[in-house]
Amino acid sequence: MKSKLNLLHRIALWTSILGITAIIADFGFAQSEIAKRFLEGTYFAVLGVGIVSTFVRYFKNYKRIKRKVFIFDLISVSFTFWVFYLYLFVGVPFETDLLLENPIWVRIAVLFTFIREFSEIRFNYKRTLLNPAQLFVASFLVIIFLGTLLLMVPNATHEGISFIDALFTSTSAVCVTGLIVVDTGSYFTEFGQIIIMLLIQTGGLGILTFASYFSYFFRGGATYENQLVLSDMTSSKKISDVFSTLKYIILITFSIELVSGLLIYSSLELDHFESRYDEIFFSAFHAVSAFCNAGFSTLPDSLYQEGFKYNYYLQIIVILSFVLGGLGFPIVANIINYVKYRLKKLLSFGGKKVGYRPWVMNLNSRITLVTTLSISAVAFVAFFLLEYENTLAEHSGIGKVVTALFGATTPRTAGFNSIDTSAMLFPTTMMVFLLMWIGASPASTGGGIKTSTFAVATLNILSLAKGKSRIEVFRREIADVSVRRAFAIISLSLIVIGSGIMLIALFDSDKSLINIGFECFSAYSTVGLSLGITADLSEVSKLIIIVIMFVGRVSMLTIVIAVFRKIKHQNYRYPTEEITMN
């Protein structure tokens, strides 16, 4: 009996995968009338098998089903029955122009079925097969490859796309970079743009985050080894906090993106769009792209587009979105907890006194926030003064302030531009180089060497200058391993960027060194800003940029860890000697 039930669930899983494949084929390829009917039958077969599998699951384990899973199943099954009712009894034709001009509701029901069946898979991670670093790198490679194939289907573009350009776009989206070789808004169809948006979302959070959380949501547990891997990837200090951290990451992401999308929508004028749906899609696309620090835009010139470059309200929303995304999930969660604590202390709900809690704002958050605010403030003042009579000349009053703030914050991996980047003065361009290299904060959607790395390196310099043997800040001592990691990240980043500049200069000798350098720094730090040479690069140079974007997203240090085998801790130490440095 048990083997028959397991067989049914396996059939339901593979049927749901067939349903997702049918959706991709339906949207990605032109369909004849016979093919449409076949796909329609496939959808309803998937839904039928999914309903049977769900009912059997409850019949077998009804006492072990959690309430939140029951609510999901109730909504999913009710929605599916509603679709069946409309189709069989009401006779509503699905070929409407609602949303995607196709039977969107039946496809949503198929997607629900896939999520439910896929989440029932028990993932048993074996460290002997892949270590956490290798698993992390492999997950990005898989998504990039799948994204490339999806972008190459006929209906994803208006005129077709080469493999290299599809690979470049997919890598740029998954690695949340934003460098483009073709215009996103005009070259890709709506289906292609949706694929790019999904790749950005998946790359920003990581496919393992989604898969792990959904598996935990439905199954309610994981093996100890799986939890160890996830704790490495989510930077959780306790294994018991792994799934609560995953929940925080997903809730924070979708909450901020939802609020950002609504605010962006409220800032737009319908005159700039063909329909209300285009306005909604624009808001959703840019909310996801901004929070994930991707820098992709459906506008040809990003926010420098006519009709948008003077929309300062829109620019402020985008700034807030990518700054929050660039702070990192642990920092945002820590800030939320700190605000809750301060509010409780201030208001003292119910007359109860709130006990004192030391270090609600932890050391990591303090260093990150101080570094982020300091860098942003210095960059804003420098940008405002340097570009006042240049790229800011067309703005006045508050417009200059907002545009300068945008120009000072976007190089830290956001990638949007509200000015003509190629028109910046040379000193400003050099400052942007530094801002791109520093990048966002750790455990965020952004790239670069990270603000904490820059802060630790700076504190180390100050410590050496004062003759101190250790780094101390906020009455805490920085661990030696953090210092070693920081300088390893800095060294490796310069090696990768320097190698990229030399190789591109070799294959595209007609390009100026500053343009090539800007492109490589932007690619490594997953920024997406460019001085206008991306589309004109040779095929080999595009491949080099692809590699740099990938390395920048997963971190060169992670790749090094993935390649080298870890040795066991040796319980001995050699005599210590100092090496001459200067």
- Mean pLDDT across 308-335: 88
**pLDDT for position 272:** 84
**pLDDT for position 568:** 67
Q: How far is CA 374 from CA 271, 369, 402, 408, in A?
A: 39, 8, 18, 12
Residue 433's nearest CA partner among 536, 503, 550, 525 is 525
Position 482: which residue type? Answer: S
> Which range has the worst mean pLDDT, 347-351, 527-531, 554-558?
347-351
**pLDDT for position 97:** 38
Contacts 24+ apart (CB under 8 A), 300-309: 300/183, 300/185, 300/186, 301/417, 302/416, 302/417, 302/418, 303/406, 303/416, 303/417, 303/418, 304/417, 304/418, 304/419, 304/420, 307/269, 307/272, 308/272, 309/418, 309/419
**pLDDT for position 95:** 46
**pLDDT for position 45:** 86
What CATH code is assigned to 2-118?
Answer: 1.20.120
Residue 309's nearest CA partner among 349, 40, 318 is 318
- Tens of pLDDT, residues 21-31: 888 888 888 87
Give Cβ neighbours of residue 158 (< 8 Å, ≥ 6 apart): 186, 187, 188, 189
- Name the more confident of 432 and 232: 432
Q: Which residues is 477 bridged to in the sheet? A: 472
- Tens of pLDDT, residues 272-313: 888 888 899 999 999 999 998 888 999 988 888 888 889 999
Measure the CA–CA gap between 58 and 539, rounded to whole angstroms: 54
Measure the CA–CA gap between 405 and 315, rounded to whole angstroms: 9
Q: Which residues is 157 bridged to in the sheet? A: 188
Q: Are 368 and 327 in contact (CB under 8 A)?
A: yes
**pLDDT for position 223:** 52
DSSP character for 473? E
Residue 45's nearest CA partner among 94, 84, 78 is 84
What confidence tier does 494 reach under pLDDT thresholds 50, 70, 90? very high
- Mean pLDDT across 185-206: 89
- Tens of pLDDT, residues 372-415: 999 999 999 999 999 999 999 999 889 999 999 999 999 988 88
With tokens 């101390």, the residue in question is: 472
368 has a pLDDT exceeding 60:
yes
Q: Are 23 and 107 in contact (CB under 8 A)?
A: yes
- Mean pLDDT across 50-70: 72
| pTM listed for this prediction | 0.86
**pLDDT for position 99:** 33
- Tens of pLDDT, residues 201-219: 888 876 656 555 555 554 5
Q: Which residues is 476 bridged to in the sheet? A: 473
Measure the CA–CA gap between 95 and 97, rounded to whole angstroms: 7
- Give me the DSSP letters along 106-167: HHHHHHHHHHHHHTT------TTT--HHHHHHHHHHHHHHHHHHHHTSGGGBSS---HHHHH
Q: Are 527 and 178 in contact (CB under 8 A)?
A: yes
DSSP character for 188? B
Q: Which pair of structure tokens corresponds to residue 34?
A: 């016979």
Give Cβ neighbours of residue 558 (< 8 Å, ≥ 6 apart): 133, 136, 137
Instruction: Please count the other Cβ atoms lying within 10 Å of the Cβ belonging to residue 365.
Output: 22
Give Cβ neighbours of residue 171 (< 8 Å, ≥ 6 apart): 144, 177, 546, 549, 550
Highest mean pLDDT among 118-122, 212-216, 451-455: 451-455
330 has a pLDDT exceeding 70:
yes
**Please, what's the b/e burial string for 417-446 (b: 16 or more CB within 10 A of its CB; e: otherwise)?**
bbbebeebeeebbebbbebbbbbbbbbbbb
Q: Which pair of structure tokens corresponds to residue 266?
A: 């409220």
Q: Please, is 355 exposed, middle or buried when counting C-beta atoms within 10 Å of its C-beta (0-12, 13-18, 19+)?
A: exposed
Residue 552's nearest CA partner among 130, 171, 184, 149 is 171
**pLDDT for position 98:** 37
DSSP character for 60? H
Domain ranges of the chain: 2-118, 127-582
- Mean pLDDT across 535-552: 93
What confidence tier does 123 reach under pLDDT thresholds 50, 70, 90? low
Mean pLDDT, the chain, whole residue set? 82
**pLDDT for position 102:** 42
- Tens of pLDDT, residues 71-90: 777 788 787 777 777 666 65
**pLDDT for position 164:** 94
